[in-house]
Chain A
């Protein structure tokens, strides 16, 4: 070693005089990772200039440099960038270490890798490692808490269930309008819809968002492009932001094999509380058959009447769920030569849900190749096949039925020996075992990208892709068998079989010409011109057979009543765009884009729309003198507009047919939805300002953005009174504004040879406001959700108020001389108590729907801490969503059925605090129970059924939460051990997801939603598939 050093120094000293005065020389070397593997495509830039290159497949580089005190900056996605002070040597070996979520190069629109410093808008990248650590089954869930400005809510904990991801707030107000970002995988647009087409069941059975088809182990990195300028090149499809996924690709050299195996168990993370005193019955009278689960006498009193009554009530919400489990195995093989690289991966995933009889399975095979013909032509075909699906349950119905099921009976005792249902009424567990819905998706994603570089200043790129899937869904249930004493599960009717055949195909074609030119040493420009075509075709056929002849034979052939229907949809869009970037001295960058879309879904004359963007990035630390502690500083700003069309067939009104089966006659009726010929595209204007600062040797970093988005000409299917002749009208109905800030703080408080601590904090807040809605309308109803006796909660848009407001009935307040706006609720005022009538002494209900809360969080955030000590890595992520409410339907039912803990006060009397209609304080003592009270007055159904359950205000609860989203511990098996064996590298990881939850919400975890993941109606929960906590162990081996 000493000898080597001596030799090196000797060479340097000898060579020194030869070079010290020379102006131009060529630096060569190789770049490897910390395991010694070469890194291709590493950006090598001479600091302070735009002189740079990238490494070849062997990690080699060669760069001509001029000047003295040359510093080279090496940067690569997912790696910490490194600066090298070039001395007298011309050859250097550079080792880049992995880590750091912020890297120098990000993948931006159209898969173009760009230096982050040149971006005039915010982009945040998450490395595959960070994603994989959470072992999330759905790639969308894996992003939770990791990226500022991105709100993700899982629809629920069902196997394979869809998750909702919204970047910078809701921009399209229509309840079914897509507000989720565009997913792009290796440059090819991918469908991430949650298809619920044609079946009400599908929208409530926790269907997957199609991004769930991706194997998280295949992902190299994910970039989130948030702003309008970032996404202008994707056009309207990117108007909600873009999630750019880059998959792992091979490196030249020896064959590598990576094997990952994960096993985990899961359970419901939070159950609703129940009262345990009062049993089944009504008016305090025991009745083991009544629908009233908990309005009977006390358990002891019931046991005196019925000796078979259990000594304790069953907690059937808890007993209705079981432990779930999941297993994933994936293997990837990669290798090749400089001219032909191949990666292939195979994975299998199976999850059994916590709700009985729910599961999900996913197989994925992927082949990724990179071929090179000479120096001018590169060619890269990729194909991915995915098969996924499973038994989906209707969790809403399940939890509703659990609420009807008295805790006097054990819900787990559900089946008789002959296979028919056990129990006094519909048993939900039995229901999931016989009333079954299964989907089976077969999906091909194939794409071809080709690059032709005839001269060094011009590249021609073509990408063609196809994303095709079929989804075969089947929903079937047997009919009653006609046995003595048999009880039929009522949702099964007389038995039915429903088959769905769905196919969806997206073809994309994208051609870009890139012209690069350096104008002397300080100016460079890149101009891109392109054309983009997207064609989507959807087809669904549904066949239903009901009233089965042989009750248990589940085929349409066995049905007495048969019906079919069909839906087809075609959608096309053609675009032309240009993108000009200008760099000045590598510290000032200007980017201007323009795009014109021609969409098939808008009427001729309205279907062509243009939108521009401009962004500026200024790395002031490379221009102005800077303090020593500041290593990097940048200011950025952008302004952009994005247009957005509408769904097909929304520019007209239609008639729908149905058949009278018995006479084979076709009836026609006016369709429920009215379109408008002159619909204009929605337009969103984004203004964004931000800064990035790094200091103390890159140990601390700040990324801050402020933005304002105005979305005008909103295309909304406005729900209208059915008396108008339509149920909804599609129209350009208004403007919404989103304003917000995003902050990312990164720090490495400790960095030593054996121990390091890295921390990332994300914070974002978004404020939105409905600026205006269509003239003539005062409000737009987005959705409503049932509550007993008028307690239905409604989401509405009202000008001047934010998106996400929840409206419902309240306790009447005493306004006296104060003015009542009939819209808001003044909780500081006393409640009005009825002085006379059947409800005398009880609070008065106000049936006017008033604002009770808002479903959009005030702010969201996440903190990730990663500690590495020798071979151990410990990482944990806290996530929070604060300042939002949700309507808890379960609480409404719990109040109606006497299950809620607070209904245990039914045997007491009290004086409700409040005033009578004349303003004098209420003094009347009332009984809280049912029937005749101790005062001899008949309280009929009692306070909770007569008043409480009909007041929405009681059930719109604070849904804020903080959770330990993820905790993982990785042990990397020391290389000393692995190297002697056949492994190159091996590690074992223990992960816990959703380990702790802090919330005031009374039911299940408020994260789950009653509407499917594609819906903007996110204010309602209660009966949704509960969220889960999971514990996983994962083994990763590299050969």
Chain B
């Protein structure tokens, strides 16, 4: 009897302990996995890299006066200190996913994915570098260090170029263990798995960043021409995304504005430059971008940066991004880098090296490529291009013209703020915004609050938004 009780108790304890262990085994997260499919990451990073171009463009477009706020003395318009924590976090979140995809690709011998990761990392790091300069990279992303240290701005810039070189080398390899799908629904939203186009994009980006050194002694026209020669040859090569969750983010801006949540207002400077009443050469791209006002005699009116709206803001007294505009319709492409940009880079470098005929040809081709892409009617396109204020002839070509037409053709793209700073904002008639809180043009951003509060010890001191970054000195 005693034995019986003893064994019963013992077996109860054993069963109890075993079932207890099972009872407690419920800590496997039913909502989220601990690893992700590589194509799910590729989809994410191609989509989000384009969105980061938008997010940065949503700041820089006010600095280059494409857009203006409907509110008087809006901080972005007037160079007041803005907190770009959201943009900063998005840039690093996407770089984190790129980092994971690259690690996964490297482990699997998927050189294609690895190459794409390098190129996309360069794009995002380039955006960070051009806004802030010094920023975490070498100790970032892994989670090992909660407070990553800041790499020097020059180191980050060098990293952008080396990432592109590494990406090019990887994309040139054959025998990737996993190949990117090349179907129309490929998770590679940018080039649908086409490595040739990725290589061209990598070279185009290389040309962009090498050209950014124009104010520095490192400026190397030969290298830029070399990169350009391996980059785009037509509009068909462009790097863009037009697959979105619901809509192109600029369309979301336009739709919200149409729903009286005021945003996406065109700057007075932009509208005036496009109307060009001085030379009487109306830019046919403006109607493809902007809404018309309620005034039949003045269909296009911009808003002065820093001034804010004139009336109530809801009576079509100004021009806004159109919900059906070329850059702001539901399925509009969101460009990362384009063929016309390479042509304008070529024009600029050729101009700087005194090869005026080449510069002039590239300049005209840049305008034409952009207008062709936008489906500007041939007659209007030719009328604009052939106008003496545009077709000035190779000898009369100026850097201002190249930069102005580049600025027009790269509407909303953040690279134009890099250009503006290199060019010291010397666009025709470009002036400080109304109610500017700085005496000169803006040159950089202050580090965002999220970094100052979470990584304060590492954040470099920044005096002011008018301090020039190293390549802008």
Contacts and interface: CB of A to CB of B under 8 A. Distances in A.
Nearest to B310: A289
Interface in A9-24: none
A570 B97 contact: no
B96 interface: yes
B27 A649 contact: yes
Contact of A660 (B47, B308, B313, B449): B47
A50 interface: no
A721 interface: yes
A725 B141 contact: yes
Contacts of A618: none
Interface in B83-102: 83, 88-89, 92-93, 96-97, 99-100
Nearest to A567: B31
Contacts of A950: 81
B468 interface: no
Name the residue among A568, A652, A662, A950 with the largest chain B CB count within 10 angstroms: A662
Nearest to A480: B259
B435 A940 contact: yes
Contact of B92 (A424, A607, A723, A777): A723
Given A655-B33, A722-B88, 8 more contacts: A287-B72, A572-B24, A601-B27, A666-B43, A721-B148, A723-B92, A796-B453, A946-B437
A667 B453 contact: no
Interface in A654-682: 654-663, 665-672, 674
A780 to B, nearest CB: 9
A729 B245 contact: no
Nearest to A784: B453
A781 B454 contact: yes
B457 interface: yes
A112 interface: no
What bracket does the count of chain B residues touching chain A fall in?
A: 35 or more
B4 interface: no
A490 B71 CA distance: 14
Interface string B129-154: 00000011000111111111000000
Nearest to B143: A725
Contact of A654 (B29, B312, B331): B29
A615 interface: no
B30 A723 contact: no
B454 A721 contact: yes
A257 interface: no
A668 B44 contact: yes
A41 interface: no
Interface string A709-741: 000000000111111111101000000000000
A591 B141 CA distance: 52
Contacts of A573: 24
A838 interface: yes
B473 interface: no
A115 interface: no
B135 A661 contact: no
Given A654-B34, A670-B100, A572 B26 contact: yes
B260 A488 contact: yes
Contacts of A849: 452-453, 456
Contacts of B311: 289
Given A720-B147, A789-B80, A661 B27 contact: no
A648 interface: yes
Name the residue among B71, B145, B245, B308 with the largest chain A CB count within 10 angstroms: B245
Contacts of B93: 669-670, 672, 722
B374 to A, nearest CB: 22
A927 interface: no
Contacts of A648: 26-27, 29
B32 A486 contact: no
Contacts of A660: 43, 47, 243-245
Going nearest first, the 5 A-B pairs with the smallest beta carbon separation are A668-B40, A668-B36, A654-B32, A721-B455, A667-B44
A574 B23 contact: yes
Contact of B314 (A485, A599, A657, A941): A485
A776 B96 CA distance: 22
Name the residue among A567, A602, A669, A849 with the largest chain B CB count within 10 angstroms: A669
Nearest to A546: B246
A719 B313 contact: no
Name the residue among B100, B437, B454, B457 with the largest chain A CB count within 10 angstroms: B454
Contacts of A781: 453-454
Interface of B: 20-21, 23-27, 29-37, 40-41, 43-44, 47-48, 71-73, 75, 80-81, 83, 88-89, 92-93, 96-97, 99-100, 135-136, 140-148, 185, 187, 243-247, 255-256, 259-261, 308-309, 311-315, 331, 435, 437, 439, 449-458
A792 interface: yes
Nearest to B263: A490
Contacts of B47: 660, 667
B44 A721 contact: no
Contact of A490 (B260, B435, B449, B456): B260
A653 interface: yes
28 contacts: A282-B72, A291-B71, A292-B73, A486-B314, A488-B259, A493-B256, A494-B255, A494-B259, A566-B31, A570-B27, A572-B23, A572-B24, A574-B20, A600-B23, A660-B47, A665-B187, A666-B40, A668-B41, A670-B36, A721-B148, A722-B93, A726-B96, A729-B146, A777-B146, A781-B454, A784-B453, A838-B437, A838-B439
Nearest to B148: A723
A487 interface: yes
Contacts of B27: 570, 600-603, 648-649, 651
A291 B135 CA distance: 35
Contact of B148 (A486, A724, A838): A724
A293 to B, nearest CB: 12
A794 interface: yes
Interface residues of A, number: 87
Contacts of A847: 452
B140 A724 contact: yes
A796 B456 CA distance: 12
Given A289-B312, A292-B72, A656-B32, A721 B451 contact: yes
B314 A784 contact: no
A722 B88 CA distance: 8
Contacts of A479: 259
Given A574-B24, A662-B243, A724 B145 contact: yes
Given A488-B260, A607-B24, A665-B185, A568 B450 contact: no
A552 interface: no
Contacts of B33: 654-655
A849 B452 CA distance: 9
A729 B331 CA distance: 38
Interface string A480-500: 100001111010011000000
A790 interface: yes
A648 B108 CA distance: 32
A661 B455 contact: no
Given A669-B97, A671-B32, A721 B259 contact: no
B428 to A, nearest CB: 27
A305 interface: no
A838 B435 CA distance: 13
Nearest to A660: B245
Given A568-B30, A789-B81, A663 B243 contact: yes
B73 A282 contact: yes
B312 A571 contact: no
A364 B92 CA distance: 50
A487 B43 contact: no
Contacts of A778: 457
B161 to A, nearest CB: 21
A724 B143 contact: yes
A941 B24 contact: no
A427 to B, nearest CB: 13
A727 B260 contact: no
Nearest to B94: A669
Given A654-B34, A660-B244, A660-B245, A721 B141 contact: no
A568 B31 CA distance: 7
